[in-house]
A and B are shown apart, each in its own frame.
Chain A
Amino acid sequence: MNDPSDSQLDALLARLGRDIAPTRDLWPQIEARASVPQFNRRRAWQLAAGIAAVTVIATIALHVADRGAAKVAGPALQDESYLRASLQLEQSYRAQLDQLPPDTRLQIGHDLDVIRSARADIRRALASDPSNPLLNELLATTWQQEMDLWRNL
């Protein structure tokens, strides 16, 4: 932050007020909507909760039915395709990463370490239970997070 343009920008940002008044009064609409009885909302939630419960039960049943299929595909195959995609992203965004300030690069490196360490833990757990659907989903999530991190650069 030794660049004088940084201090100029900070000075400009500091001058911005935080409060901005809307051009019209929003209260009448808020008051009208706030006056709607809570009963309907609660009923809707009960209905949604019922639907969600049915969905969860159906999903669990499907998972149980698909266990055999999951054993065939296995996490290793999934891992391989994610690894390829992630390496491609890393290659594409490496240049952008190098342009970031050192503390940001450090932070991103730390974030990557956290994700990769979580993935290593999940892999260890998967070694003894390769078809566990939750662990497989968590493994996929770590890949997704890593790819999101690269894409967000």
Chain B
Amino acid sequence: MRNGSLPVPSLPRMHPNAAHGGIRAFEALYREHVGGVFGLCLRLTGSRELAEDCTQETFLAAWRALPKFEARSTLGTWLHRIAVNTVLARHRGLAARCEAVADTHDEDCLNRHRGGDTAPPLDLERAIAALPDGARHVLVLVGIYGYDHAEAAQLLGLMAGTCRAHLHRARQLLKQRLGLTEMP
């Protein structure tokens, strides 16, 4: 994973349970990584409001779990993994709530909960945000954040073949929407 190759930023200084670190050390970690985590959450959810919630949840989960962090992965990779799990858990929660509402089309319901702000400034970002969830998740992880299929499949709880199928679909849809499809 390209982003995961970042070195761990002097972990003892950053560790919140270190004698002189605490919450201020964790704030420094937050400032360093918030752009990466928020960018990932924004692209996975397609919603600024949801992405802000998920970013907060990610850092809270990291704060609680940091004493168990064993530096087997970099902090960036570790935070990304938490962020993906947070987004998927949030999405499952929304889907469950929408299923409970009779006669409501799932996507409509999910879009309402997303806050209807799925309009990032760039055409490409907008096209990505409009992709179906599964296709968008795989495209973001593999196409933008550089995970390989096996890593993305593991993070998303998919089989590798399903992951590839989602990516293929995402790319086809993006090419259509951006007018990149070759004309016959």
Contact = CB atoms under 8 A, between A and B. Distances in A.
Interface of A: 3-6, 8-9, 12-13, 16-24, 26-27, 29-31, 33-35, 38, 41, 100-101, 103-104, 107-112, 145, 148-149, 152-153
B148 to A, nearest CB: 13
Interface of B: 3, 23, 26-27, 30-31, 34-36, 38-40, 42, 48, 51-52, 55-56, 59-60, 63-64, 124-125, 134, 143-145, 149, 158-162, 164-166, 168, 171, 174-175, 178, 180-182
Given A33-B56, A33-B60, A149-B162, A9 B144 contact: no
Contacts of A30: 30, 56, 59-60, 63
A144 B27 CA distance: 44
A26 B56 CA distance: 7
Given A9-B171, A108-B162, A18 B56 contact: no
Given A21-B38, A27-B27, A6 B165 contact: no
A29 B56 CA distance: 8
Q: Tell me whether chain B's interface is mostly helix, strand or loop, or mixed.
A: helix
Nearest to A108: B161
Contacts of A21: 34-35, 38
A24 B51 CA distance: 12
Given A18-B36, A26-B52, A104 B143 contact: no
Given A9-B174, A26-B55, A108-B162, 14 more contacts: A5-B175, A12-B124, A18-B40, A20-B35, A21-B34, A21-B35, A30-B63, A31-B23, A107-B160, A108-B164, A110-B161, A111-B161, A111-B162, A112-B161
B165 A152 contact: yes
A17 B175 contact: no
A20 B171 contact: no
Nearest to A106: B161
Nearest to B175: A5
A12 B39 contact: no
A24 B178 CA distance: 30
Quick one: which of A16, A35, A41, A145 has the most chain B CB within 10 A? A16
B168 A101 contact: yes
Quick one: which of B51, B60, B181 has the most chain A CB within 10 A? B60
A126 to B, nearest CB: 24
Nearest to A112: B161
Nearest to A24: B52
B178 A100 contact: no
Quick one: which of B42, B59, B134, B145 has the most chain A CB within 10 A? B59
A-B pairs, top 8 by smallest CB distance, nearest first, are A19-B35, A108-B161, A20-B39, A107-B161, A104-B164, A5-B180, A111-B161, A111-B159
A153 B163 CA distance: 9
A22 B37 CA distance: 10
Contacts of A148: 162
A22 to B, nearest CB: 5
